[in-house]
Amino acid sequence: MGSVRAVLIDIDGVLTVSWQPLPGTVEALREIRETGLGVALVTNTTSRTRASIARTLADAGFPVSAEDILTAPAVTAAYLAEHCPGARCALLNSGDIAQDLAGIALVGEGDGDLAPDVVIVGGAGPEFGYEALNRAFGHLQRGARLVAMHRNLYWRTDAGLQLDTGAFLAGVEQAARVTAEITGKPSAAFFEAALAHVGVGAEDAVMVGDDIESDVLAAQRAGVPGVLVRTGKYLPQTHRDASGTPDHVIDSFADLPALLAELRESAQQ
């Protein structure tokens, strides 16, 4: 591993829970930015746009702007523009993310005979009822492609763990006999986009996350050293049962500056 030049950071469960800062995270991010390291906040959050996320974090004291944030919707828009140019897309998502899907032709329920070419699945919420899932199932039976922003099973809120997209996506895939094309974490393309965003190679970055599979081990498979935090959705059981071993484990993001200092010293020896 080379000297760390940039830090890729998950938001939900790492910096915040239900958008409230976890203890010490604001101060830790400020310290990291003061050292001159590149920073990218990489998130599968699909309920808000980059601009909305940036405003919320800045209001909480985090030194971030929209340019620092890479979301699954933004990466999905780029993916569709490259792989399905001009496609008509039906979106199943909880939250308004149209701003981050600029250039994508979204087909609404009232568009008559304009059958979608692609079904896009974002983050789960009340919108993921029987009618909506069955409508997506029908589109897939008629040949639409299935693109999902992620397949997370759950996430942490101030009310505890809540079901997420992966819990529904698995059933839709099996019923329609298709496999979703994943654009957010844990796809390698997402980490490639994040590295391009900060302008460093994989060996010169670290990825910090609370999801051992989608954040940490997925980053390591893409060549990015991983740091697992014991906050957010972290559970000892999932840690023990994981498909691999994180490069580093810390109690919280507040401990990251100390770890980065240790890595700098090691690289200089």
Q: Which residue has the tokens 């529904």?
A: 168
The bridge status of strand 226-229 relative to strand 248-250 is: parallel
Q: Are 183 and 218 in contact (CB under 8 A)?
A: no
CB 168 within 8 A of CB 125: no
Residues 6+ apart with CB under 8 A from 109: 135
Indicate the pTM of the whole model.
0.83
As assigned by CATH, the class of the 85-182 domain is: alpha beta
Q: 3-class DSSP state for residue 72?
A: helix
Could you state, in order of their start, the residue ranges of all structural domains in the chain? Answer: 6-44+187-268, 85-182
Residue-wise burial string across 13-46, b where 16 or more C-beta atoms lie within 10 A, e elsewhere: bbbbbebebbebbbebbebbbeeebbbbbbbbbb
Beta-bridged to residue 227, according to DSSP, are: 208, 248
Which CATH fold topology does 6-44+187-268 show?
Answer: Rossmann fold (3.40.50)
Distances in whole angstroms, Cα of residue 186 to Cα of each of 69, 205, 242, 245: 17, 16, 14, 16
pLDDT tens-place values along the chain, 269 residues long: 458 999 999 999 999 999 999 999 999 999 999 999 999 999 988 888 899 999 999 999 999 999 999 999 999 998 999 999 999 999 999 988 888 898 899 987 656 567 899 999 999 999 999 999 999 999 999 999 999 999 989 888 888 889 999 999 999 999 999 999 999 999 998 999 999 999 999 999 999 999 999 999 999 999 999 999 999 999 999 999 999 999 999 999 999 999 999 998 888 77
